[in-house]
Structure 1
Amino acid sequence: MSRSILDEAHIHPAVRSIVANNHANVIAEVKAAIASNPIVVVGMAQNPFPRKARRVLDDIKATYVYLEYGSYLSGWRPRTALKMWTGWPTFPMIFVNGILIGGANDLQRLIASGELSGLVAA
């Protein structure tokens, strides 16, 4: 899969560090959680889909870590940095063994197909 992203050569040297460090602390926090937990759900307050994903994981008694970044009215800048980092446009962002599997509906499809247990075991 290739993903369109602006090449560094097309970013002026004076602003490259701004681009590279945009909410780097939030991205580092998510990376650390992904590295040390089999399932990570990244969400936001007031959005029903992160709640849906967590409920589904609770129903199957899966162990996961939940990270929450703001609500509809706050925290949008760190969430934008996460969207830019992953390329995933919505919340939640669900990672299984370091792999972005999508959102709540994608999680439900993996559970229904039996594929989630294989991903967790891998």
Structure 2
Amino acid sequence: MTRPLLDQARIHPAALAQIGSYHTDLIAEVEAAVAANKVVVVGMGLNPFPAKARKILDGQGTPYKYLSYGNYFSQWRPRLALKLWSGWATFPLIFVNGTLIGGATDLQKLIASGEFVRLLG
């Protein structure tokens, strides 16, 4: 992986246990959706970019699973777990056939280039 991560040897065992169990239920829910659906959009309320991604997919006639977790004022800790897990800092998180492709702007670029159709298979 190209992003730096703190070496686990530099994390106290008690903190490591807490890190390892941080909202694992939510991560498992997203992983299950990603395994069961060709396209998954993970978003949040009040954020225009998940809505933009859904509109793009609807316009393409592409079926997808949408998971929404809170809004700017709620559920920020669970969303943080998704950001830490994926390495993607913003919403939405868009998965195509199990691969994180990025957000709404990245989806637009992949559609324009024809890469999205290839990823769908």
TM-score, scaled to structure 1 = 0.96
> 1:111 is matched with which residue?
111
Q: Deviations over 1:71-112 (max 9, x none)?
A: 000010011010111111100000001111000010001011
Within 2, Cα distance between the matches of 1:103 and 1:14? 34
Unaligned runs of 5+ in 2: none
Q: CA separation in 2, counterparts of 1:70 and 1:30?
A: 15
Is the partner of 2:14 in helix, strand or coil?
coil
Instruction: Find the counterpart in structure 1 of residue 92 from structure 2.
Output: 92
Identity in percent: 60
Q: Using the alignment, how far apart are the partners of 1:111 and 1:16 within structure 2?
A: 40
- How many angstroms does 1:35 deviate by? 0.8
Q: Specify the SS of the correspondent of 2:28.
A: helix
Could you tell me how far 1:53 is from its partner in structure 2? 0.1
Residue type of the alignment partner of 1:58:
D
Q: Which runs of 5+ in 1 are unaligned?
A: none
| 1:50 pairs with 2:59 | no
User: Residue 107 of structure 2 aligns to a residue in which SS?
Assistant: helix
TM-score under structure 2 normalisation?
A: 0.97
| 2:40 match: secondary structure | strand
Residue correspondences, number:
121
Partners in 2 of 1:67 and 1:47 — Cα distance? Answer: 13
AA partner of residue 69 (structure 1): Y
CA RMSD of aligned residues (A): 0.8
